[in-house]
Structure 1
């Protein structure tokens, strides 16, 4: 027969056991101390205990020891991932572990638009506060225009290297698929001509035609006479913001294709994949001239006489617009 004292002791043990279990589970699923949403970074290669200590230090959880213990008991503690995560207000330890073990990594992007010159790529990297470290102005034509994801704290140099590796791989891939008998004989020449194509037309549908026109000029020894090559030595590819001066048209340097035969000494911007592809598979055309048509595109001509008529039409359009 169990005494009253024994029953009382058993009841106390039961209460303590239930209370302990409640505290253990409640401490895992109950609301956490975070008063507002906070971003939390899990470093590469960080252990569960290290992450727990960082979580406690930043006020995300109450106890690093309790978090690590429960994480191991409930599983998933070894599945934490590196990256930056958004932890919501009052997140329970269970929810915190689920977040940092998931693919809910905050994605940050730097976008390099088609035809952005390297000086502006440099400025964009420098202006991104989530990146770290210094970086030099990249070589013109070495960056592939695209959107690049990065993690907070990544170095600018590392992100730039990824942009340049993407360009190198793209050029290699497209060069292997090039058409026969091209006027450009090396991948470097292809990037230079593609940079001119990129700057000369804003219409994707015209790229191959513009590439064919400039290829014809190179084959026949004609001056390319591409206005963007006049501007590049002046602004490094940024907008000029005014009309080109006659003295600038007549300037002799390594880029101005009004005073030199052949390609410039280097690219005048970072060309897109599409412009490189256009240069490596240009349109088959006898066009040697082009002029704006008033719609954002161009009118092409194979003779100077035809071109002069097109130019006259373009000037008439500009007069109607009050631009002359």
Structure 2
């Protein structure tokens, strides 16, 4: 009898163990295998939320088949306490494991609403976009110039939500005054700062917290530019006509303002380096314009002959060598071009009608290029006049 009971008990234990093994295997497949989500969604995890709350929402939206397995998987992989707040893209068919990795590892939203203050050379705009989970493409919701326009209703409504990401993006060639004025007009950051030294801010895209200090962002921009300049200076070409990184930064700002086609940066830099080495004046309009505007916006008209002859520290038609400071905030590529210019015989360049330049070694060649450019200008003016009639 006892043998029979023992045998039956052992059988039950074996059956239970097999059942547990089968259950664990099934649960593992549920956790790591493709999920039931038929169409990508944007999952918002609010600050202070828990894995239980997240799992309930995922079940409700059809992203996971079993909330308990989802929670157990997070606990087993030690991810429960690593939950991040934000908005996360959950792709079609994402497994529980993939979802947990997304909401506990990156710490950065991958979908939802984004507001970007784009500071350009001619204007600044606040642009609101939302990611469409189905196409995984951003859709523009609202755009306006905060210095000139009232915020549209869509923007006001969109920024009322708790989960909005903010960025500030600087275009290459903006001035420090433009950066500070645009930040003030945007209302994104608090506090006030003096206009930082020209050229000291690195054009790039910076993630910010709304309401944080403006001085903190300016410092980040300055540290980034110092790092870029130091790296480029350390790997500079030999024999350049600069005595310091600061002089190279001045040249980089001129290259930035004179370059229409990115691929021409090295050639444009070579022209100015060649001129300095031969004792020629730089004779570049952007420096003259900066002497007039001090970087406070665009000139909005052509230069007058009196301005080209006027003696200012920035008029490179009058002064020898470099102007005293940069004339804008150059990007990394212009800094690298100034410190590693192409080797060319060119001393002149003029617009060629395509957005780029025609380069020349001699004054006669340059005059021919200028004549061609004048013809292009005349043809365009005639076409515009004809189109307006």
After TM superposition, the score normalised by the length of structure 2 is 0.58
C-alpha distance in 2, partners of 1:99/1:200?
45
Residues 241-320 of structure 1: matches in 2 within 5 Å? Answer: 241-320=300-379
- The total of aligned residue pairs comes to 246
- Asked if the contact 1:293/1:299 (under 8 Å) is kept, the reply is yes
- Asked if the contact 2:79/2:104 (under 8 Å) is kept, the reply is no
Cα RMSD for the two superposed structures: 2.8
- Equivalence for 1:156: 214
- Equivalence for 1:133: 191
C-alpha distance in 2, partners of 1:249/1:126?
33
C-alpha distance in 1, partners of 2:183/2:104?
28
| 1:222–1:133 distance in 2 versus 1, CA, 3 Å | same
**Greater relative contact order: 1 or 2 (C-alpha under 8 angstroms, separation 6 or more)?**
1
- Asked if the contact 1:208/1:278 (under 8 Å) is kept, the reply is yes
- Equivalence for 1:103: 107
- Asked if the contact 1:289/1:304 (under 8 Å) is kept, the reply is yes
1:126 deviates by 1.1
- Equivalence for 2:60: none
**Cα deviation digits, residues 125-164 of structure 1 (max 9, x gap):** 2123231111111110000000001112210000100000
| 1:104–1:142 distance in 2 versus 1, CA, 3 Å | closer
C-alpha distance in 2, partners of 1:128/1:308?
46
| 1:76–1:274 distance in 2 versus 1, CA, 3 Å | closer
C-alpha distance in 2, partners of 1:41/1:140?
39
Runs of 5+ in structure 2 lacking a partner? 1-43, 50-74, 88-101, 110-163
1:309 deviates by 0.9
**Cα deviation digits, residues 184-205 of structure 1 (max 9, x gap):** 2211011000100000111111
- Asked if the contact 1:80/1:102 (under 8 Å) is kept, the reply is no
- Equivalence for 1:20: none
- Asked if the contact 1:85/1:100 (under 8 Å) is kept, the reply is no
| Structure richer in strand, relative to its length | 2
- Asked if the contact 2:202/2:222 (under 8 Å) is kept, the reply is yes
Residues 46-85 of structure 1: matches in 2 within 5 Å? Answer: none
SS in 2 for 1:287: coil
